[in-house]
Structure 1
């Protein structure tokens, strides 16, 4: 395994992609033989954003991850909860602990919690005291763009009082929040960031810019600009796949560079979202694509995007 400090030193001198250390800010491990993930084990989700995900309904462990990473020098990873059995939210942490002991990965974790459930205090208390856990993810209730209004509120949404009561507890436990929601809900996200300025929000998957029409991209960019005004929001650039197409530089350059232009290179992190993004392409190709798109940026900004920012946000 590579030494991160040595790679940083070499990259700052050379600027060569071969020397670039990567802290993968969003990845998953699954063991479908041992553990229960409803979305992988049960009837497939009909509206999965990438289409048919049959190829990833399988076990994916650290050895599989590093085979998929190929030549890329990934030195640290952040594991994001994998929609484990909701009846046993702490079970995934116990399992991830065992992976960490055996393989040395991951280096940080954002775990499963349900902010509007009665067990939220007990669950957050465990996470807040655990050295591996940096945050939690609970996907808030959302609707299709055509059904969304500026005053949207629903049970389990970011404006639901019960959900917000649970969210308010994150700061006392020192936990950040992984926000995975469609970009048209970013007005609610901006409100959440303002109302709870002491809690770090990390937006997952670039706000899910699936609609690549000019109108869709303008809406997404406007939403990014709105939420980027809040200083406690960080953006992960991942999950920008197009159903039925391989990941490509041509398709994604505008997405990546717009995201960086809006948030700034010090408030974004690249991430693989593997194996989920494996529905459309190989991890080697995705990271190669990120490197190609990021090539015009300075050495310091490239190092921040691929490594330093994730290390800072997740305290690795």
Structure 2
């Protein structure tokens, strides 16, 4: 199950980030390398019944995109593709779209271009609300992007994002992943969370009643905790269990990396305005090789891998500040939608019905202000 990539130059860098953000992709795009392609035919090799199909789910993290500038296994993931996943057996009542540098405006001031993404997703969400794509409400909440380093000047951008989706826009994601190692992608400048501009912009977010999603690396978790204490009125959603790294300089060092990750998670959990998403492990940076198998991983085995990480997060944050996420289509390279939510259901069996309701649905619905869907 491999896809041979042609040699071709990088024609464009990742939008919305510094030039260093393309680092990881340059290495792929400028070199002919075998890349995994976890397509539908491969995923279909692992079939299993849906566990607890009645359990309500709000999936708080997925993307829409088409014609990506970088190579990824799923170049097209729009409403049809999402509907196929969320209607495949689990009781997905609603979803949250998270920015993905998708369909930005092609011109105009750089800081205003992300408004195009929210305009694009608002249309998909309206189509989903028609019911023609199934009972679940796709993109019932929309999280866009704005550069918080603009400081006070970010307010008109946020107002434009709100105007693009008056009934669904809930906040932004401004990821700040940074690491000194040259082989790891950098999403922003070093120390972005501590800059006056970023903190001023975060204050504007809080005053407007909006949320901040953030994806970073586990080494930055103490910085996130310090930032959260500086903006106590801002709800911060920590993505992907806190950005664990097990590749590059962090490969084969679990005895050092995992304790540092645990300390960082514990520090973040001390801040009552931080909630955490449980998922996102189907990314290359987490160091798992499941995408190389002849047959995709099943939920029982997957739950065995995920349980130590996710139960630690649940212990630290509490179920009412945790939410299970798909991170599709990114994680779709590793496992199917059915399998990953079956795994979440398996690893959460020891929790009470109310605790599980929080992690699968209620926390996300509360944080992103999603009305109940019958």
TM range (shorter): 0.7 to 0.9
- Alpha-carbon distance in structure 1 between the residues aligned to 2:176 and 2:278: 20
Matching of residues 116-265 of structure 1 within 5 Å: 116-117=149-150, 120-128=154-162, 130-140=166-176, 142-144=178-180, 154=189, 157-211=192-246, 213-241=254-282, 242-245=287-290, 248-265=302-319
If you compute each CA radius of gyration, which structure gives the higher value, 1 or 2? Answer: 2
Matching of residues 299-310 of structure 1 within 5 Å: 299-310=353-364
Q: 1:219 to 1:141 in 2, by over 3 A?
A: closer
- Alpha-carbon distance in structure 1 between the residues aligned to 2:229 and 2:209: 17
Residues 1:112 and 2:178 aligned together: no
- Alpha-carbon distance in structure 1 between the residues aligned to 2:335 and 2:177: 29
Structure 1, unaligned runs of 5 or more: 1-15, 33-39, 45-53, 148-152
CA contact (8 A) 1:125 1:173 kept: no
- Alpha-carbon distance in structure 2 between the residues aligned to 1:74 and 1:159: 37
The Cα offsets for residues 235-277 of structure 1, whole Å up to 9 and x where unpaired, read as: 0001123442256122111011111111111110001000011
The Cα offsets for residues 140-171 of structure 1, whole Å up to 9 and x where unpaired, read as: 25214799xxxxx9567101222222222111
CA contact (8 A) 2:213 2:239 kept: yes
Cα distance, 1:63 vs structure 2: 2.1
Residues 1:313 and 2:354 aligned together: no
Residues 1:64 and 2:81 aligned together: yes
CA contact (8 A) 2:217 2:245 kept: no
Q: 1:306 to 1:115 in 2, by over 3 A?
A: same
- Alpha-carbon distance in structure 2 between the residues aligned to 1:110 and 1:145: 29
Residues 1:91 and 2:116 aligned together: yes
Residues 1:81 and 2:99 aligned together: yes
- Alpha-carbon distance in structure 1 between the residues aligned to 2:119 and 2:161: 11
- Alpha-carbon distance in structure 2 between the residues aligned to 1:145 and 1:257: 29
What TM-score do you get using the length of structure 1 for normalisation? 0.82
What TM-score do you get using the length of structure 2 for normalisation? 0.70
Instruction: Provide the secondary structure at the position in 2 that maps to 1:41.
Output: coil
CA contact (8 A) 2:173 2:212 kept: yes
Match of 2:59 in 1: 24
Runs of 4+ aligned structure 1 residues displaced above 4 Å come to 144-147, 153-156
Instruction: Provide the secondary structure at the position in 2 that maps to 1:269.
Output: strand
- Alpha-carbon distance in structure 2 between the residues aligned to 1:144 and 1:219: 17
Match of 1:285 in 2: 339
Q: 1:145 to 1:230 in 2, by over 3 A?
A: farther
Structure with the larger RCO, 1 or 2 (CA within 8 Å, 6+ apart)? 1
CA contact (8 A) 2:177 2:215 kept: no
Instruction: Provide the secondary structure at the position in 2 that maps to 1:101.
Output: helix
Q: 1:117 to 1:215 in 2, by over 3 A?
A: same
Matching of residues 29-48 of structure 1 within 5 Å: 29-32=64-67, 40-42=68-70, 44=71
Match of 2:29 in 1: none
The Cα offsets for residues 95-143 of structure 1, whole Å up to 9 and x where unpaired, read as: 1111122112210011111112486222112235522111101112521
- Alpha-carbon distance in structure 1 between the residues aligned to 2:364 and 2:329: 19
